[in-house]
């Protein structure tokens, strides 16, 4: 099994259309999808994000980090939530993403989450992270 993150990205007017729609209907469709993921045993985490206007951006392009109020420069860079799935392949992650109740015009980016086993095990920081994960039941 491998971990894959489904990154939910509204495009164009899709987020505005979402906020103007029936929120109870959205909760119902998302709830049903989440229940399917849970029953299949593949859901590790899922979260929606608050409006990007409530966030900040920490920009590391200069000599020192600069903090500015959100959102990011372009809407295409935003994402509004994610699912973390434990599935056998990217193909299985794609199949789940196709079933997600996303807003019309949205996109779901799928990225594999590397395992700690893929990093150099003789590195001090990898060893510390491994110990922390073991202590917290994440391994």
- pLDDT of residue 10 exceeding 80, the answer is no
The reported pLDDT for the residue numbered 52 is 76
Q: Are strands 56-59 and 66-69 parallel, antiparallel or unpaired?
A: antiparallel
pLDDT at 75 over 60: no
pTM higher than 0.85 for the full model? no
**The pLDDT of residue 71 is above 70:** no
Residues whose CB falls within 8 Å of the CB of residue 21, separated by 6 or more in sequence, listed in order:
none
Of 1-15, 40-54, 116-130, give the lowest mean pLDDT range: 1-15
Confidence band of 3 (pLDDT split at 50, 70, 90): very high
What is the third-level CATH fold of 2-112? Alpha-Beta Plaits (3.30.70)
Beta strands in the chain (DSSP E): 2-9, 43-48, 56-59, 66-69, 81-87, 107-113
* For residue 13, pLDDT beyond 70: no
Q: Are 68 and 57 in contact (CB under 8 A)?
A: yes
């Amino acid at each position: 099994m491998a971990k894959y993150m489904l990154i939910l990205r509204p495009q164009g007017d899709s987020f505005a259309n979402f906020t103007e729609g029936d929120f109870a209907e959205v909760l119902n469709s998302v709830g049903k999808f989440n229940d399917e993921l849970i029953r299949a045993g593949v859901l590790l985490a899922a979260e929606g994000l608050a409006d990007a206007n409530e966030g900040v951006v920490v920009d590391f392009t200069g000599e020192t980090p600069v903090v500015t109020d959100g959102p990011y420069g372009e809407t295409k860079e935003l994402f509004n939530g994610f699912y973390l799935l434990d599935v056998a392949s990217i193909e299985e992650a794609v199949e789940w993403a196709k079933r997600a109740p996303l807003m019309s015009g949205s996109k779901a980016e799928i990225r594999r989450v590397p395992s700690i086993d893929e990093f150099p095990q003789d590195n001090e920081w990898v060893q510390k992270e491994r110990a922390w994960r073991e202590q917290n039941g994440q391994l």
